[in-house]
Amino acid sequence: MVFENAVQFKAAIAKYSIKKGCKLHWKKNEPGRQRIACDVKNGCSWEIFASFDNSDDTFKVKTYKGKHSCFKSNKNKMATESFLVDALRTLVTNSPHMNSRQLAEHVKAELKVEVSKYKCQRAKRFIKNELVGCYIEQYKLLRRYGEHMLVTNPGSTCVIGTDTDGSTLYQFKRMYMCFDGCKRGWKAGCRRIIGVDGCFLKGVCKGILLTTVGRDGNNQMFPLAWAIVDIENRENWEWFMDLLRIDIECGDGVGLTIISDMHKGIIAARESVFPNARHRFCARHIYANWAKIYKGEEYKKRFWAIARATWQAEFEYQVQELKKLSEQAWLDLARIPPMYWCKAFFYEDTCCDVVDNDMCESFNFWIMEARYKAIISLVDTMREQLMERIAEKMSSSHKWKGDIAPRVKTKLGKNKNESFECRLLWDGTFGFELNGIPCPHAICCMFHENLDPEDFVVDWYRKGKYLQSYNFPIKAMCGDKSWQKFHGDPVNPPAMTTRPERLKKNRRKAKDEPKKLSNSKMSRRGRIMTCFYYKQEGHNKSGCSFVTNNETPAAIASSSQTRKKRPSAAYHRKKSIGREQKRRNDVGSAVVTLNISQSSMVNSINSTPITDVAALNLPLPTPTTQSSQIKNKGKAKVTTVGKQKGKKKEKGFGIFRNDVTGEIILDLGKPTEWRIREDTSATAIVPRVSHEAVSTNAMQFQQQLQVQPNLETQETFLLFLLQEMT
């Protein structure tokens, strides 16, 4: 075996080690020679030696013992980051949305070796940094790609728009593509109805993908044209629709129907480019906005009954049913005229009664993988998917049984079964004319006249029209080495911006859309929490607010006595206001600091020096008490104090003299509540005494003081407090 150099030899050894599942180690690792042996210590004789040969400047294997006597292992230190970069480069390039955990599972399944998700994350980051250079290079090749597309698919349209950034450089702004096979197939075999929509690109260079999708004879999507723009606005939509108008040759839109959401840019562009075209709004988007206010299954049923009403009388009946629920609900819904989203107002010559834009949504999901790629890889992947789809649809049509499209035939069979429940009196709906498929009422009449309902299906659903749609294939294109050289200015990539938040991979779903459920874990949606102690709904045992301080949860659970009165379930539905807000509410509703300077009882205190406190017959501070004087700069005031780490808080009753104003302040401070601030210069006349040291009568006086904070009550309480403290 001959290798170019030692690096190539090492890479081959790493691949061999991981593929065979054997652990190897280097006995000798030098630039000119390499010796590798088996790492298992059970006497395995496998060994290989290679060195540089000066005769032909190659790296040759000179000794090889190829028999293994060791066991396989799924852990290998040769699965390094550089090895994972080579192993995962293609996968990350084609599927950039895969996370590190999924990459680790892929390595374990394909290579039979376990690696950490962090190692895969570093390898993915290295690959993405490489792809940034690839993104820039692909923009420079964009004009050559467009020229090659027009050569291989004559009659196609490819328009690239650039914008200068203040210099001679041409920055990419937008690009329009429509293959000749798509435009000719749509004009030959598809109904005159298209759906337009925009979706985000998810690669390094962001942008919006504008799409136009038609419907084939089997009621499936028929991609028509697409464009890549920098932003979804009126200007870009007008530019896109103007090029589309030229390709499909529909003039000012006579006979054309467009389905879209209610984006303002689409509405303005349609009025400008296709003034005579009919416009439908997607009912699903209308309901998503309307359901934000009017929620519930009953409103949902009424909305879709109105949207799917096929004749005027049924529409008015369903409107009255909605008004019974809420008159305002219909007024809000009628702000969007029903002619845009209700079947009863659709034209019959379109032969399509859909009220949503599901074809565009299906197309956006169909190209999901391509939306992560660089610009040339994106459009080329879409071309390949479309080329394969046209060929597949063409071949599958030869397997049809009969002349009617399979989906239409299934719907027709369902209508036949429902026709046996109809009485031959009157055709109650105009559904037959709306979609071109006989309804149950019409089929009942046909059976009475011995007619075949399939003969009354319009030609749009027949095999001949379907084959005309897919009779124009898209030609294959060669690689970039075969592209013709373009002598003009190359296209430069747009400015890449990075958002501060994490990139969201999934779109925000509407409230009525089903959520993705886990295969291994049951959803908690709809479950009602029940208290373990009180057996009431709305909360669990950890959130129970009725567990008293003197009764532990274990005592409640083991107690066989029933409580006299359990709290109502409505109490538990109240939202928690939070610990801080609760503290503020308690503080704001209590009177805990009192100014008793105006009392006649304290005149002797004010006239007595602080050193002659004994004359007042008041207890002096003991040596174990905290410092009786707090000196600090600042205005004297009484305010709230929050939690202070590392400092012991003053608490309990106390009497203080403000050194600045001379006021005598009675402080009823509680822990973590009101007290004299530490930046206040005040002297403690009576040191604080804990609440437990004061009798029950003093506590009752305090409650009365908070209810009636008058001067007489303050004086009485102060006298009683001094007596209790002494």
Residue 574 pLDDT more than 60? Answer: no
Please state the three-class secondary structure of 187-255 as a single string. HHHCCCEEEEEEEECCCCCCCEEEEEEEECCCCCEEEEEEEEECCCCHHHHHHHHHHHHHHHCCCCCCC
pLDDT of residue 712: 55
Task: Tell me the C-alpha distance between 464 and 33, whole Å.
Answer: 71
Among the ranges given (273-282, 505-514, 691-700), the one the predictor scored with the smallest mean pLDDT = 691-700
Long-range contacts (CB closer than 8 Å, 24 or more residues apart) made by 689-698: 689/652, 689/653, 689/654, 689/725, 690/651, 690/652, 691/651, 691/652, 691/653, 693/652, 694/653, 694/721, 694/724, 694/725, 695/724, 697/724, 698/653, 698/724
pLDDT of residue 185: 94
Phi and psi torsions of 161, nearest 5°: -110, 135
Residue 644 pLDDT more than 50? Answer: no
Which band of pLDDT confidence, cut at 50, 70 and 90, is reported for residue 96? confident
Question: DSSP secondary structure string, 529-548?
Answer: -B-TTT--BT--GGG-S---
Overall average pLDDT of the 39-68 stretch: 82
pLDDT of residue 174: 93
Among the ranges given (58-72, 238-252, 338-352, 467-481), the one the predictor scored with the smallest mean pLDDT = 58-72
Task: Tell me the C-alpha distance between 489 and 588, whole Å.
Answer: 73
pLDDT of residue 175: 95
Tens digits of residue pLDDT in 163-191: 865 555 788 899 999 999 999 999 998 99
Gyration radius from the chain CA atoms: 41
Residues forming beta bridges with residue 689, ordered by sequence position: 653
Tens digits of residue pLDDT in 492-505: 888 766 666 666 66
Tokens 């609440």 identify what position?
691
Residues forming beta bridges with residue 279, ordered by sequence position: 258
Structure tokens at 353: 């009664």
What is the chain's mean pLDDT, rounded?
76
3-class DSSP state of 642: coil
pLDDT of residue 526: 67
Among the ranges given (160-174, 202-216, 580-594, 649-663), the one the predictor scored with the smallest mean pLDDT = 580-594
**360 and 261 Cβ atoms separated by less than 8 Å:** no
**258 and 196 Cβ atoms separated by less than 8 Å:** yes
Tens digits of residue pLDDT in 187-232: 998 999 999 999 998 877 788 999 999 999 898 999 999 999 999 9
pLDDT of residue 571: 47
- According to DSSP, residue 371 is labeled G
Overall average pLDDT of the 296-300 stretch: 91
pLDDT of residue 430: 45
**204 and 265 Cβ atoms separated by less than 8 Å:** no
Overall average pLDDT of the 366-387 stretch: 90
In this structure, the number of other CB atoms found within 10 A of the CB of residue 652 comes to 18
Most confidently modeled of 404-418, 428-442, 707-721?
Answer: 404-418
pLDDT of residue 149: 93
pLDDT of residue 211: 95
Task: Tell me the C-alpha distance between 474 and 152, whole Å.
Answer: 9
Overall average pLDDT of the 459-479 stretch: 89
What residue type is assigned to position 309 of the chain? A
Structure tokens at 386: 């479309």
Which band of pLDDT confidence, cut at 50, 70 and 90, is reported for residue 614? very low
Residue 578 pLDDT more than 90? Answer: no
Among the ranges given (364-373, 555-564, 664-673), the one the predictor scored with the smallest mean pLDDT = 555-564
**483 and 147 Cβ atoms separated by less than 8 Å:** yes
Overall average pLDDT of the 707-726 stretch: 56
Overall average pLDDT of the 367-389 stretch: 90
Task: Calculate helix-pair angle for 297-307, 312-325, nearest 10 degrees.
Answer: 160
Residue 92 pLDDT more than 90? Answer: no
Overall average pLDDT of the 343-366 stretch: 89
Overall average pLDDT of the 626-644 stretch: 37
- Core vs surface per residue 75-109: b (16+ CB within 10 A) or e: ebebbeeebbbebbbebbbeebebebeebbebbee
pLDDT of residue 177: 95
- According to DSSP, residue 419 is labeled H
Residue 290 pLDDT more than 80? Answer: yes
Among the ranges given (367-371, 581-585, 606-610), the one the predictor scored with the smallest mean pLDDT = 606-610
Overall average pLDDT of the 506-519 stretch: 65
Task: Tell me the C-alpha distance between 264 and 578, whole Å.
Answer: 43
Tens digits of residue pLDDT in 111-154: 888 889 899 989 988 888 777 767 888 888 999 999 999 999 99
pLDDT of residue 588: 38
pLDDT of residue 385: 94
Sequence ranges of the domains in the chain:
2-65, 81-139, 141-280+356-403+479-488, 283-346, 404-461, 528-574, 581-725
Tens digits of residue pLDDT in 231-269: 999 999 999 999 999 999 988 999 999 999 999 999 999
Half-sphere exposure of 483 (CA within 13 A, CB side): 19
3-class DSSP state of 61: strand
Overall average pLDDT of the 583-609 stretch: 43
Residue 334 pLDDT more than 80? Answer: yes
pTM score: 0.62
Structure tokens at 707: 């209810």
Residue 594 pLDDT more than 50? Answer: no
pLDDT of residue 171: 86
pLDDT of residue 680: 55
Share of the chain above pLDDT 90, in %: 27
Instruction: Name which residue leads in pLDDT, 656 or 462.
Output: 462
pLDDT of residue 654: 67
Structure tokens at 419: 């026709």
